[in-house]
A and B are shown apart, each in its own frame.
Chain A
Amino acid sequence: MKGTNLGEFEELVLLSVAALMEEAYSVAICDELSNHTGRTVKLGVVHAVLNRLEEKGLLNSELGEATKARGGKRKRFYQLTVAGKAALINAKSIRDQLWDRIPPFTWIST
């Protein structure tokens, strides 16, 4: 199953696309990531990742309405595809399983 293995940043981008719902376009995703992770996220990186995720078939995109703030250019809105959702759920379940395997007392001792 090519494309179901997600990189860390890819996963974050997918999650923010899901969280932003109808408002998920590059700049908004970038802002969202910066706010929630506390690291400076470069637009170029987000762009490249969005592009790659779309190529993998995890994201869909369509052009929206033109706005003045963008010099008359339209925004490209992203949505999760079924495969994208599956990939996120898959990633989460793998983590959950691993979390479950950690005995609770290990946390107390450290």
Chain B
Amino acid sequence: MKEQRQHHPPAWAQRFVAWYCKPELLEDLSGDLHEYFERNVASIGPRRAKLIYIIDAFKFFRSYTVRKPTFLNLLINYLMIGSYIKTSGRNLLRNKLFSSLNIVSLAISMSVGLLLIAFVLDLRSYDRFHKNGERIYRITSVETSNREQSSKFASASIKSGKLIREQVAGIEEVAMLRKDFSGDAQVDDKILPIKGFWAEPSLFSVFSFPMLEGNPETALRDPFSIVLTETAAKKLFGNPSALGKVIWFDTLDYQVTGIMKDVPFFSHLSFEALVSFSTAEQNNKGDQQFEAWTNTGSNYVYLLLPENANQASIQAQLDAIAKQENLAEANTKIQLELLPLHKIVVGENLRDLSPSGPVGPHMPPLALWILGGLAFVVLLSACFNYTNLSIARAMRRFREIGLRKAIGAQKSQVRVQFLAEAVMISLAALLLSFLLFLILRPQLLNIAPEMQHMVKLQLTPAMVAAFILFSVMVGVVAGFLPALFFSKISPIHALGNASSVKGFKHLSLRRALVLIQYTVTLIFITTTAIGYVQYKNILAFNLGFNTENILNINLQGNQPDALLKELSEMPEVTALSRSLIVTAVGNAWGGMMKYGNSRDSALVLTNHVDENYLPLHGYTLLAGGNFIARPTTSQAINEVIVNEQVLKRFNIAKGDPEKAVGEEITFSNFKLHGRKMTIVGVMQDFHYGKVDNLIGPTAFMPWTPEDRTIINAKIQSADLLATLAKIESTWKKIDRVHPFEAEFYDEAIEAAYSEFSSMIKIIGFLAFLAISIASMGLFGMVVFTTETRLKEIGIRKVMGASSGSLVFLLSRGFLMLLSISALIALPITYVFFESVVLRKFPYHTPVQIAELLVGLLAVLLIAFLMIGSQTLKAARSNPVEVLKSV
């Protein structure tokens, strides 16, 4: 007997029945189920009995047993909803201060949520206009070199695309796309720079780019065919149809074979023109590298798979191709992978080695999660405010709830009432936060230059729906704890003597919530402070050379002589030099260097500079001198200036700069093969890369007219803008096609670290929100506490307490909480920066105590102001009046 007692039907199944079943049928039904269960335990054992119970529980889920959804009940019972709204509304109006604190803090925090929702929805809408979007994949090349870690590239070699087309079964279409078609299009006497891709004809069957004129099947078939977008065609040809016309690029003429609709904003591929892929093939005829298996740069392979495609089998075939091709390669192994179209923009970080950078915008999911986490924390803080203030003021509503319960309200109904109230408030907050959203939107778009190319943040119906849903969710989260708390109130206590109910029973909960709020706020603020100081340090960092007032002018393919001559005649320009790239902003150029007969070669980063570059930028030469020869072709280069790291890396002359001068090294890159060069100078180490890179071996070589050119102009002028305008007008005389492209070195450095500045702006903004929300919460709590203790204060005053001691008495608790949260927040932030963030910056300055304390000081100051003003008001009140009123 005892044995049998121990078996019970699964609790969740019982709850499930109780959940769906109509109350009037429930008892009978679950009783029957239980009787059968007991019977089955005896006859076929507990395990199967339980299983049968579960099956039966689901079988009873029928139209006549299922209760109508609660929501519907609420609608039917709209009198109750009306009553909830009425009492909630009255309550809101009665406590104007608290309601506005709640609504404002919810609205502020929700505005962040709205921005994030808009941002994520925009990112998710990328490439959704392709009809076959779900079936389109891009090939990712995973490249593993000898010693290095494998890295993933967004691009894939032409050979891989061709092999896939020939050998892989179960693929509907393959389309290859090659990046960086750019040139100056000439029509009659009009010249316009045009950028686009080389593309195969199959592109139009893989993607949904509608063609306005021309035949999509043949437009990209023949060499020297070009398809223009509507806008590009208008720009070049005006209103008459461009179809069939001829465009000149340099010396070649291209025929316009199609006009297509402009590429939508939310497309990861964006271009003005498509040129037939066969053109690229013809241009590179004879270049063996062009179709090499390892030449993965600049070329993209897109696949259209049939419906219900067998991905595993395709992947296996890709692996087979890779295996076959890798046999012939000694150093590099390449694997091919499929990447779904919709995971290109929001997805894994892929490398893209090409001068023009990656195709389309990209956002790693991790960044979105971090942003989401931060927004969530701010939101939670506002929800805590709501919870705190509602529970703190619970006593005022005890009678109402007691009465409701006494006349038959169930726990669940009280819960619904308070949830409904919270949702009402959050919907009211939504209106306000939507206004904030409209104000903040342009700020967010301007936070970084890339932002405007990435998202629009324009309202769509889906966005509005998401906003409303979001606001309801926030209401439910905010109202959850109050609802739970109020539904538990026993009517006897509530109606009997309200003061006997322990309103402060939840004091520890409220304290914990305030503590969390302030800890989070302090972390945000100190992070902002430290981040800002570190960012300023990076910008002011001594790179090892001078960047002040140097204007870098990109010549965009022009020969420098004409402009140099014009510039040298300007009085404001004090010095001029030429270089291949601008360093210290993330650009890199380089090749492999060898010393002596050893087979050991290593990557050395290089820049090609003329003889004026070193003095203009103030590089420190430790030994030797400047370039002597003036080579006119790269084949004639035989001099090199290296930094100390090169000496160290190759152990040249045991690291002695003086002795290293005159030594010979061998250098190879894509142009030079084993070129012998003499070290003519040794420079002090300087920062070639960004500050987060360690200084490595670096070398300067003479600039030759073959190189693309940046002119570095040192400018001394009281009015830099006027000088800039003057230089621009000079530029226009030399190049009428390309817009002037110049940037001051310091600005370029600032732009190179723009992600930090936008990060700091975002976190700073969140910190500002967090502190406003926490302050509002604290303010509400202080007002409430002093209000409830007015009589006590009156008595204390009568007994002789001073205002000062009363202020101390009232604020002690809050100050205690603040100190604890400071003790938690500051060490966390410090450790986080020193061991996680700043690890990536080998040359950073250590975090200073002052930066840690400045945030704390700000928070304390605001808290003092609020606590002080309220408690002082209470302490100053006239005890006679307070004690007289009952």
Contacts and interface: CB of A to CB of B under 8 A. Distances in A.
Interface of A: 26-27, 42-44, 47-48, 51-52, 63, 69-71, 73-76
Interface in B16-58: 25, 27-32, 34-36, 38, 56
B36 A43 contact: yes
Contacts of A75: 28, 31
B8 to A, nearest CB: 8
A48 B25 CA distance: 11
Given A69-B35, A70-B35, A44 B28 contact: no
26 contacts: A26-B28, A27-B32, A27-B35, A42-B59, A44-B60, A47-B29, A48-B64, A51-B25, A51-B64, A52-B64, A63-B28, A69-B35, A69-B38, A70-B31, A70-B34, A70-B35, A71-B30, A73-B27, A73-B31, A74-B27, A74-B31, A75-B28, A75-B31, A76-B27, A76-B28, A76-B31
Contacts of A74: 27-28, 31
A44 B34 contact: no
Contacts of B62: 44, 48
Contact of B36 (A27, A48, A73): A27
A71 B31 contact: yes
A52 B64 CA distance: 9
Nearest to A50: B28
A71 B32 contact: no
A48 B64 CA distance: 8
Contact of A73 (B8, B34, B59, B64): B34
Given A48-B64, A51-B64, A74-B27, A43 B38 contact: no
B60 A73 contact: no
B30 A47 contact: no
B35 A47 contact: no
A71 B34 contact: yes
A71 B8 CA distance: 9
Query: Nearest 10 A-B pairs (CB), nearest first?
Result: A73-B31, A71-B34, A70-B31, A76-B28, A44-B59, A70-B34, A70-B35, A26-B32, A27-B35, A73-B27
A66 B832 CA distance: 62
Given A48-B62, A51-B64, A43 B27 contact: no
A47 B65 CA distance: 10
Contact of B27 (A42, A51, A63): A63
A42 B62 CA distance: 14
Nearest to A66: B31
Contacts of A27: 32, 35-36
A69 B29 CA distance: 14
B711 to A, nearest CB: 87
A98 B36 CA distance: 40
A73 B33 CA distance: 10
A51 B25 CA distance: 9
Nearest to A70: B31
A74 B29 CA distance: 10
A71 B33 CA distance: 9
Contacts of A52: 64
Most buried by B among A26, A27, A47: A47
Contacts of B8: 71
A27 B34 CA distance: 11
Contacts of A69: 34-35, 38
A27 B30 CA distance: 12
A71 B14 CA distance: 11
A27 B8 CA distance: 19
A29 to B, nearest CB: 10
Interface string B56-86: 1001101010000000000000000000000
A46 to B, nearest CB: 9
A44 B33 CA distance: 10
Contacts of B28: 26, 63, 73-76
A63 B24 CA distance: 11
Given A27-B36, A69-B38, A47 B60 contact: yes
Nearest to B26: A73
Given A51-B64, A70-B35, A44 B56 contact: yes
A87 B36 CA distance: 31
A48 B426 CA distance: 44
A75 B34 CA distance: 11
A76 B27 CA distance: 9
Contacts of B60: 44, 47
A63 B35 CA distance: 16
A98 to B, nearest CB: 33
Contacts of B56: 43-44
B32 A47 contact: yes
A59 B34 CA distance: 24
Contacts of B32: 26-27, 43, 47, 70
Given A27-B32, A70-B35, 20 more contacts: A26-B28, A26-B32, A42-B59, A43-B32, A44-B56, A47-B32, A48-B64, A51-B64, A69-B35, A70-B31, A70-B32, A71-B8, A71-B30, A71-B34, A73-B27, A73-B28, A73-B34, A75-B31, A76-B28, A76-B31
B628 to A, nearest CB: 100
Nearest to B14: A71
A24 B627 CA distance: 111
Nearest to B33: A43
Contacts of A63: 27-28
A76 B32 CA distance: 10
A17 to B, nearest CB: 15
Nearest to B38: A69
Contacts of B27: 63, 73-74, 76
Nearest to A26: B32
A69 B38 CA distance: 7
B12 to A, nearest CB: 15
A12 B843 CA distance: 91
A51 B9 CA distance: 24
A51 B36 CA distance: 19
Contacts of A76: 27-28, 31
Contacts of B35: 27, 69-70
A4 B31 CA distance: 30
Contacts of A70: 31-32, 34-35
A76 B30 CA distance: 11
Contacts of A44: 56, 59-60, 62
A47 B59 CA distance: 11
Contacts of A26: 28, 32
Nearest to A45: B59
A70 B34 CA distance: 5
A71 B53 CA distance: 13
B46 to A, nearest CB: 15
Contacts of B31: 70-71, 73-76
A85 B9 CA distance: 38
Contacts of B29: 47
A69 B32 CA distance: 10
Nearest to A76: B28
A44 B60 CA distance: 6
A51 B64 CA distance: 8
Contacts of B30: 71, 73
Most buried by A among B25, B29, B56: B29
A73 B62 CA distance: 21
Contacts of B9: 71
A26 B56 CA distance: 15
Nearest to B32: A26
A75 B25 CA distance: 11
A85 B286 CA distance: 102
Interface in B619-644: none
A63 B9 CA distance: 23
Contacts of A43: 32, 36, 56
A85 B32 CA distance: 26
Interface in B145-190: none
A48 B61 CA distance: 11
B338 to A, nearest CB: 48
Nearest to B27: A73
Interface string B670-694: 0000000000000000000000000
A71 B7 CA distance: 11
